[in-house]
């Protein structure tokens, strides 16, 4: 069985999102969908994913997997490790699909269903191997949002559940193990409650679709994005915490605030009101424009959370570490050291549509940090009271670069003795030079905040690299000052 091949059965919005995430995480993906437009639709989703997903990572993603389309389920599922079923939400269609794919797929492959409405035991009913099937319910866009509700039934084999967790984690997702079967799982039950209340607010003429969306996106939605419900309310309780919050606000649950126990009838009038108000709110945008705005916003929110190592941002940092592996000096020091490999994120660009000058400095700063780490100035060393401070920086901008481009920084150590570390960085995309950065750093004592000698082990490692790099030609522009040409 090929360990890194997945099959997507049904290539709609969700199936296309699964295909994009798996492909960009290095998996080969086979798609079966009888829709003659499937290839075009998945290509559009994949274009969006290529533009947005790499910007969440501060390390190079694996090489993109191979995408293929197949006319039959047997051709798609032979020798795969993961099968994601995203066919229409009709139980008879799903049962027929499972019958066919289980006749041809490996018995130890994970079969995950994107269903939001069916429990796994309902999906497994009449299946050849019920122990192979789980619910793996994601959220749109699948290639950006990490949550996937993983729901086994009592018939699901424990090893299938564990393998599903491992695979989902390996592609940067958070498998939320739902321990009991329940209609609509967990997240959609919460969404349903908000949706019903929102319909009542429109039905009763209290609020419009735009006003309801503003209440969410400008207020509690931002809090929920990084702390969820209960952690948010714990803070609302102040220093006394959750208990105080419940004691203070718990009685409100008995007040007639909501109509959650009742559902408004979806009359033509209510449907028209929702549709008309939504058109007035967002009808001026195409779906693709809304998708891009959504992706831009999510990238910005998630990268902000990533900088804080909190919530979904912490998951992204953990995924970077998994993808990157161990950080160590290369065995061959006869060439400049690659210190940064990454895509240019959406939020690194400016009004001119290219990476702004502050981000060039950030990228070179990241390269400097990596070099410090490689020679031994890591968190443990810094905890002992020593580190490097940047004393001088000179950046030359040679060419522009845009969001989504893969950049690479190669670093040469010009001097590495005593208290000084003199670095020269070159930034490329492919073979095209984008910028150079020359940095002079001084080793300091964090106690006195004054220059000091580095520890012997660090000094020896830095000297080893500097000695090897001394055989390299002096970089063009090294030591250059800013000036006006005659």
Query: Residues annotated as binding site for NAD(+)?
Result: 10-15
Among 234, 7, 49, which residue's Cα sits nearest to residue 140? 49
* Rounded CA separation 341/325 (Å): 13
List, in sequence order, the alpha helices (H) in 255-356. Answer: 268-282, 287-307, 312-324
* Rounded CA separation 355/368 (Å): 19
Residues marked as binding?
A: 10-15
Is residue 15 within 8 A of residue 114, CB to CB? The reply is yes
* Rounded CA separation 303/307 (Å): 6
Q: Which structure tokens are listed for 40?
A: 């075009």
**What are the residues whose beta carbons fall under 8 Å from the beta carbon of 149, sequence distance 6 or more?**
135, 136, 137, 138, 176, 178, 185, 186, 187
Among 348, 342, 339, 398, which residue's Cα sits nearest to residue 371? 339
Burial, 472: exposed, middle or buried (Cβ in 10 Å; 0-12, 13-18, 19+)?
middle
Question: Sheet holding 5-9: strands in order across?
Answer: 67-70, 28-32, 5-9, 82-85, 110-113, 133-138, 147-151, 174-177
User: Any bridge partners for residue 442, and if so which?
Assistant: 389, 420
**What are the residues whose beta carbons fall under 8 Å from the beta carbon of 224, sequence distance 6 or more?**
232
Is residue 437 within 8 A of residue 386, CB to CB? The reply is no
Q: Which structure tokens are listed for 407?
A: 């950049």
**What are the residues whose beta carbons fall under 8 Å from the beta carbon of 200, sequence distance 6 or more?**
206, 258, 259, 264
Bridge pairing between strands 147-151 and 5-9: unpaired
Q: Name the CA radius of gyration of the chain, rounded.
A: 27
- What is the torsion angle, in degrees rounded to the nearest 10, for the CA atoms of residue 266, residue 268, residue 273 and residue 276? 130
Cis peptide before 400 (omega within 30 of 0): no
Q: Which structure tokens are listed for 418?
A: 């005593």
């Amino acid at each position: 069985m090929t360990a890194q091949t997945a099959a997507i059965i049904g290539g709609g919005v969700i199936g296309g999102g699964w295909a994009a995430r798996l492909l960009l995480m290095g998996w080969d993906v086979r798609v079966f969908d009888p829709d003659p437009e499937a290839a075009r639709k998945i290509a559009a989703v994949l274009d969006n994913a290529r533009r947005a997903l790499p910007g969440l990572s501060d390390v190079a993603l694996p090489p993109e997997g191979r995408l293929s389309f197949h006319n039959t389920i047997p051709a798609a599922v032979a020798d795969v490790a993961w099968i994601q079923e995203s066919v229409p939400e009709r139980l008879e269609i799903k049962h027929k699909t499972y019958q066919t794919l289980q006749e041809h797929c490996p018995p130890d492959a994970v079969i995950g269903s994107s269903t939001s409405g069916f429990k796994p035991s309902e999906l497994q009913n009449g299946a050849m191997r019920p122990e192979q099937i789980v619910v793996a319910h994601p959220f749109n866009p699948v290639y950006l949002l990490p949550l996937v509700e993983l729901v086994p039934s009592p018939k699901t084999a424990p090893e299938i559940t564990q393998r599903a967790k491992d695979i989902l984690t390996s592609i940067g997702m958070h498998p939320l193990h739902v321990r009991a079967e329940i209609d609509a799982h967990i997240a959609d039950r919460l969404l349903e409650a908000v949706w019903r209340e929102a319909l009542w607010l429109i039905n009763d003429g209290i609020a419009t679709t735009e006003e309801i969306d503003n209440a969410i996106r400008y207020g509690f939605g931002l809090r929920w994005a990084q702390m969820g419900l209960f952690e948010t309310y714990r803070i609302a309780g102040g220093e006394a915490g959750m208990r105080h919050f419940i004691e203070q606000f718990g009685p409100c649950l008995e007040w007639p605030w909501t109509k959650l126990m009742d559902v408004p009838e979806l009359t033509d009038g209510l449907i028209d009101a929702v549709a008309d108000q939504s058109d007035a709110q967002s009808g001026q945008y195409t779906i693709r424009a809304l998708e891009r705005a959504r992706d831009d916003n999510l990238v910005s929110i998630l990268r902000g959370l990533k900088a804080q190592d909190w919530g979904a941002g912490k998951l992204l940092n953990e995924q970077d570490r998994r993808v990157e592996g161990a950080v160590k000096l290369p065995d061959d020091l006869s060439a400049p050291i690659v210190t940064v490999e990454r895509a240019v994120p959406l939020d690194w660009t400016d009004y001119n549509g290219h990476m702004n000058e502050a981000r060039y400095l950030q990228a070179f700063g990241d390269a400097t940090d990596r070099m410090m780490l490689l020679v031994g100035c890591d968190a443990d060393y810094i905890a002992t009271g020593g580190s490097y401070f940047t004393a001088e920086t000179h950046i030359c901008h040679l060419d522009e670069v845009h969001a989504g481009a893969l950049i690479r920084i190669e670093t040469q150590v010009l001097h590495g003795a005593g208290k000084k570390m003199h670095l020269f960085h070159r930034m490329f995309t492919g073979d095209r030079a984008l910028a150079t950065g020359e940095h002079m750093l001084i080793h300091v004592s964090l106690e006195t905040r004054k220059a000091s000698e580095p520890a012997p082990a660090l000094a020896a490692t830095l000297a080893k690299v500097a000695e090897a790099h001394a055989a390299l030609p002096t970089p063009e522009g090294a030591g250059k000052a800013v000036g006006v040409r005659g």
